[in-house]
Structures are given as C-alpha cells and as structure tokens.
Amino acid sequence: MTDSLTIWILAVGLAMDCFTVSLCIGSSPAPQTPRSIFRVSSHFGLFQGGMALLGWLLGSTIVDLIANYDHWIALALLGWIGGHMVKEGLSQSNGLPLENCDDPSRGMTLIMLSIATSIDALGVGLSMAFLKIDVYSASLIIGIVSLILSIVGLMSGNRLSKRFGKRVEVMGGLILILIGLRIVVTHLMA
C-alpha cells in the first residue's frame, strides 16, 4: 500500500502542467473574472482526477493503444494553443482584450487545454491499479491539488500580465510549446 505522502507528491507533480498553463492563461488578454478562474481551475481539477480514475478503470487496454502517440497529441494541442498566444502577443493591438480574441476559459480551447494537461494522469491511473491503492481517494487528491495550483497560476499570471503587458502572453505561448516539446522528449528518451 502506497502511503498518503507519496500520493500528495504525485498529485503536485501532475498539477505542475496545470499550474504552468494556468499561469499562461492568466497572462492572456482575456479578462480574469472569478467565473473564468472557477471554469479553468475546476476543469483542470476534474480532468486531472477524472483521467487518473479513467486510467485505472480502463487498465492497459486504451493506454497501450495511445501510448505510442499520446505525447504527440499533447504536443499538437499545446503547440496550437501556444502558437495562437504568441501570435496574439505579437499583434499590433494596444494590449487591451480584443473582441475577437478567444477566451481560453471557454469552449474547445479550455477542453483541449484540460486534455493536454491531463494525459499523463491517464498513465498514472494505470499504474495505480498495479499499486493496489485507494484510487478514489488518490484521484480526489490529484483533482484538488490541480484545482488549487491552477487558481494560484491564474492569479499570478494576471499580476504578471498587468506588470509586463503583452510580452507575458508571448512568453506564456512559448512556455506551452516548450511543455509540449518536453512531453515528447520525455517519452522518446524513456
């Protein structure tokens, strides 16, 4: 039986992508309201905890099917969204939220970010089945930690954006692309 400290450390490790992506979203030109912060953090928490549970439920069947290219899926999703952020950050607008700018806390952008940040949790869920741990408690802890770190990231990104303007959005987009590349390199080197 794995002790609870290990589960908490695992949850923090899984939540780091959520934190970083939340930091980038917080720096985007879309207004950060309590409602948008709730949407992003709750989606990230639900997807992280849910993917861990789904990985446990599906066992090796689906993980084996996507294991060869799950890292490419994450790279494509994060690269597309990061590229869009860089493009918006380099645009000649005055730095105020644009009417036609996608709100990363809504729609397909939010779903894609949620999936991209939680793909690793699917594999962790599979390993939880082999460790004979209480998967429901572990998934709940993973979801809660992801939710909390997402809120911290969103709030920090918003402050950085106010201080440094559109440069933070470009940096945020580049960070998303680098996260995608890190996921690919990690999988290829393993």
Q: Read off the pLDDT of residues 40-96 as tens digits, 9 standing for 90 and up.
A: 999 999 999 999 999 888 865 665 676 677 778 778 877 887 787 788 778 765 443
What mean pLDDT is reported for the chain? 80
In a domain, 124, yes or no: yes
Indicate if the pLDDT at residue 145 is higher than 50.
yes
Residues 120-135 have a mean pLDDT of 75
Residue 93 backbone dihedrals phi, psi, to 5 degrees:
-75, 170
In a domain, 78, yes or no: no
Indicate if the pLDDT at residue 3 is higher than 80.
no
Candidates 176, 148, 166; CA nearest to 30 is 166
What gap in Å lies between CA 41 and CA 69, rounded to an integer? 27
Please count the structural domains in the chain. 1
Q: Say whether 33 sits in a helix, a strand or coil.
A: coil
Residue 159 backbone dihedrals phi, psi, to 5 degrees:
-65, -40
In a domain, 131, yes or no: yes
Residue 29 backbone dihedrals phi, psi, to 5 degrees:
-75, -10
Tokens of 128: 């939880």
In a domain, 143, yes or no: yes
What gap in Å lies between CA 157 and CA 9, rounded to an integer? 24
DSSP state of 93: S
**pLDDT recorded at residue 37:** 92
In a domain, 57, yes or no: yes
In a domain, 170, yes or no: no
Distance of CA 78 to the CA centre of its chain: 9
Q: Which domain holds residue 154?
A: 4-72+103-165
**pLDDT recorded at residue 93:** 55
**pLDDT recorded at residue 159:** 79
In a domain, 63, yes or no: yes
In a domain, 180, yes or no: no
What gap in Å lies between CA 19 and CA 153, rounded to an integer? 5
